[in-house]
Amino acid sequence: MPGYRRAYKTARRLYPLMLAAYKRWDSLSDEEKQRYLEQAKRYSRQASAYAREAASHAPRPKRGSAPKPKRKKPRR
């Protein structure tokens, strides 16, 4: 099953990075952790504001105006 093999290879490659990130996070002081969390919240709020603005300028299709999918012909 190729899906399991790919997941295993990906996990093997990412595990050292994840472990280093965890050790780095664990070594930070509480003030630094709080600063990083606030920064991540700021990034998230900014991204959602950009998305809301882009969605407000996008044209919205009218209800029922979407084309219906074509039906396949039955086999004989």
Domain ranges of the chain: 2-56
Phi first, then psi: what are they for 66, rounded to 5°?
A: -70, 140
Q: What does the pLDDT read at residue 35?
A: 97
**Do the beta carbons of residue 28 and residue 36 sit within 8 Å?**
yes
Q: What does the pLDDT read at residue 13?
A: 95
Two structure tokens written together for 12: 């093997």
Digit-by-digit pLDDT tens for the chain (76 residues) are: 568 899 999 999 999 999 999 999 999 999 999 999 999 999 999 999 999 999 888 777 677 666 677 777 777 7
CA-nearest of 1, 18, 57 to 26 is: 18
Q: How far is CA 38 from the centre of its chain?
A: 19
| C-alpha dist (Å) from residue 30 to 24, 35, 71 | 13, 9, 60
